[in-house]
Amino acid sequence: MAPVHGTLLQPALLIGLLVGTLAVGAAAQAPALRGGGSDPLTGPRSRLGRDWVGTVEQPRAVEILVMAGHADSQGIAGAGTSGAAVDLTGARPMQPGIRDELFWNLQVARRVVALGQQRGLNIRFYEPPVRTIHSGDDPRTNWSAGKAHAAAGGYALEIHFDAYGPDGVGSGVIPALHRPPSRLDESLAQAFGGYPRGFRGGLGGPRRGITLLEIGKLEAPLEPALRNPASRERALTTIAERVVNALEQGLTPAAASVHSPVGLAAGEQ
């Protein structure tokens, strides 16, 4: 980060200054925000940084559609990662017939929706009726459901876990490309980190109006915390709390209070 009068700006302060600058029209495009760092639970954050700041406000009543990534692509290209435990150590998949990423995507997505509804958010879950759909344009896919939801003015969010090892990048948000990034995107990026908007030339979900949230790489420290029955529920609850807290904050004026994070790690505040 660039020094100002000999002092390094903290990430939250830097983002706040950028938001203020954009709000008064002093800059047409946000400068890149550096990524990197690591979280005790979710592991490394995206090191790529992001070239956006979410400033567009959305009404608290906006309907949030949550989806589990790869829920419609099992057994074909794009099925998601099996995780380090299965691929590198020969562990059994969490559920026969699906990749471990989808198993954890579903676990987190369902908990986010249940907790969000308890908190009074207008939030629901979409799950494709079958696990293998060959055409991305089939109306039953995540892509089609998310595209229609976003086109109608809703906020579509797809949950993912990133690949292990050098193929993965880390936790972070890839915002939808059909609109300027919102305060929901910004709040999630504060909690998990962020990717460039045009990551890999623009992914299929963001091109269709869906924001992608990478929870973390499916390797240590995150994967063992999820796989261990003694820590699994606490880890999943912590992740769901972090996501819902971020959604609440993104829909709430900055001066209003929100629920405090609990669990293994609190994320960036």
Q: Which residue has the higher pLDDT, 1 or 60?
A: 60
Question: Cβ–Cβ contacts within 10 Å for residue 140, how many?
Answer: 15
Distance CA 267, CA 179 (A): 26
Tens digits of per-residue pLDDT, 202-232?
Answer: 788 999 999 999 999 999 999 999 999 999 9
* Res. 122: pLDDT tops 90: yes
59 found inside a domain:
yes
Tens digits of per-residue pLDDT, 131-168?
Answer: 999 998 999 999 999 999 999 999 999 999 999 999 99
Mean pLDDT of 52-65: 95
18 found inside a domain:
no
38 found inside a domain:
no
Q: Domain containing 211 — which CATH number?
A: 3.40.630.40
Tens digits of per-residue pLDDT, 179-195?
Answer: 999 999 999 999 999 99
4 found inside a domain:
no
Residue whose pair of structure tokens reads 């879950």 in the numeric block: 125
pLDDT for res 253: 64
158 found inside a domain:
yes
Domains held by the chain: number: 1
Domain of 125, in residue numbers: 48-251
Closest CA to 158 of 141, 170, 139: 141
Q: How many residues belong to the chain?
A: 269
21 found inside a domain:
no
97 found inside a domain:
yes
258 found inside a domain:
no
Residues 121/64, Cβ–Cβ less than 8 Å: yes
For the record, the structure tokens of 54 come out as: 């979410």
Question: Cβ–Cβ contacts within 10 Å for residue 268, how many?
Answer: 17
Distance CA 113, CA 101 (A): 18
pLDDT exceeding 90 applies to what percent of the chain? 76
Query: Average pLDDT of the chain?
Result: 85
